Amino acid sequence: MAKFKGVSLSDGISYGNIVKVKNHNQHIFFNFVEDKENEKLRVRKALTYAEEYQTALIEKYKDDEEIKNILTSYLYMIKDEDLLSKLNQIIDTISCQAEYAIQTEFENVINSMLLSESEYLKSRGDDLYSVMNKIIRVLSGNKNTDPNDLQAGSVIASDTISPIFLAGADVNKIAGIITSHSSPTSHLAIAARSLKIPMVTCSKEDLNKMQDDQIVIIDGTDGVVITNPSGLDMQYYDNLMCNLNAEKEKLERYKELEGKTIDGIRIAVQANVCSKEDVKWASTQGAEGIGLVRTEMLFHNMSKLPTMEQQMAVYKNIVENAPGKSVVFRLFDFSNEKDFYNIIGENGGNDSWGHRGIRVLLENEKVLRDQIRAILLSSEDGEITILIPFVSAPDEIMRVKYIVDEEYSYFMQNNIPVNQSVKIGSMIETPSAAILCDEIARQVDMMSIGTNDLIQYTLGTDRNSSGNISCSKAFHPAVLRFISMVADAGRRNHITVAVCGEAASDLKLTRILVGLGITHLSVTPDKIHAVKSEVEKHKFHDDVIFANNIMSCNTAMEAEAMVTIADL
């Protein structure tokens, strides 16, 4: 028996036998070809076959909106006219074979995504690999590599698994998925959750220790994998499955309930989203609005910045499908990556870690104006907030508000119908914004605390590093005091204060955040039921006392210990 601890990407517990799936990534070396036209013909044929295959998969999953949308996004990649044009251009320029041209074009895009600080964009790079490998396999004549001969109870294990692989298989025979390279926002994880297949990601070293045909328990709730389990393990997980199923049925009622404490104090539980699919998922989970749309992630597949019209179509779709048509659109939160300058067609870039968000947008006013116009025009009958990212001082907000007012004036002068009640919000994710929260609160309708970045910039710790874990938690006194300051400023100025970072999903922090005065919690859709349940467990007055006690702690370890004792 061996036990491996990983990270849960899709809830559920199941048993089965491991099926190790080999990755088909192979490096294509350059070969000079004389007949360039034949290579371009091969590319066209491969794209046509891949398009037909993808269309068939979409038909297979026509009743599953989540899977269908993921497969459709891949189809759009394959059908993109720019893709064929670029591939032909590569073949013409360097006289290479079709496979090499495909690898070159896809890896250029993929590498830029993998260099991103965004886990979501990194996961989209994995998705592009799936499409690339599918086309290359077709070119090599291997059209039927997606397995359809899995045995019932198969637990698929591989470094990376393509959603196309999953869609092409008989999913009724798949008991679980184990990878060493995935994230909650990857298309594979989204598909696994939609299909109710338990999924865990673990280290590559642990994955290599797992062998074909081993009996395995996959615990997608706690992120645990057990190979060759004992009889006691099997009995324990049988009981746990019964308890979890009962708990899940109990939590289902929160789909229809508002978030509120025992004594009726309303705490809105909203959803963070990165895609139109996420919005629909949030609606099915009982989200009380969309608390954060990461708009820069909506257009990750585009080689250039979307036009105002393209943005408007996407934003309008989100508003129409959002619960209560309540949406908080965060403006493009571009970082210091040079990708931004590539997609706007300029040379530039800034290696400073602080060159991101509103600082970048104010330097590129046309980009900012186009996005503001798109949001205003897409929200005629919605409850909309424009959220400004990476604010460090009130003057940045004032400049954005001035642009919004100018756009309103333009629409009114030209008799263009537009929502006249769009609100303005500020992200609080830098120490300077937290310190100036009163001044900021007087400029906006809401403040949203991004705890991931606030922790990083307050404590000087890398949010992506596994080192120094105790120092990077939201229990740190400095972080809690900043959150308390912002909540107090919101109360004094009668505006909404939300938390949209990972801390909002941490059930150990729920009582503290509520007690400090946070009125909105924006979480990933799969956490909505659990957070509502946690909010409902206590009276607001007791939460306030509890939060004050936590605030008296001198260390993160002391605060976390106090929470653990209170939960016993």
Find the mean pLDDT for residues 311-320: 93
Which of 359, 338, 361 is closest to 350 using CA atoms? 338
pLDDT at 138: 73
Find the mean pLDDT for residues 510-530: 93
Largest distance between two CA atoms of the chain: 79
Q: What's the mean per-residue pLDDT of the chain?
A: 84
**DSSP structure string for 91-124:** HHHH-B-HHHHHHHHHHHHHHHHHTSS-HHHHHH
Q: What is the pLDDT of residues 386-395, one digit of tens each?
A: 999 999 999 9
The residue behind tokens 């300029």 is: 346
| Cβ atoms 300, 341 nearer than 8 A | no
Residues facing 427 on adjacent strands = 448
Integer angstrom CA distances of residue 294 from 70, 271, 273, 353: 18, 11, 7, 19
pLDDT at 117: 54
Q: How far apart are CA 273 and CA 329, in angstroms?
A: 10
Tokens read off for 321 = 């499908």
Question: Angle CA(502)–CA(505)–CA(508) in degrees, nearest 5?
Answer: 105
Question: Angle CA(162)–CA(165)–CA(171) in degrees, nearest 5?
Answer: 120
Least confident of 117-126, 187-196, 208-217, 523-532: 117-126
- Give the helix ranges, DSSP H, for 61-97: 65-79, 81-94
Q: What is the pLDDT of residues 49-63, one digit of tens each?
A: 888 877 887 887 777
422: left (phi over 0), alpha (psi -120 to 50) or beta: beta
Cα of 179 vs its chain's centroid, Å:
18
Q: How far apart are CA 85 and CA 464, in angstroms?
A: 37
pTM listed for this prediction: 0.69
Structure-model confidence comparison of residues 166 and 127, the more confident one: 166
Residues facing 179 on adjacent strands = 158, 201
- Residue 467 carries which DSSP code? S
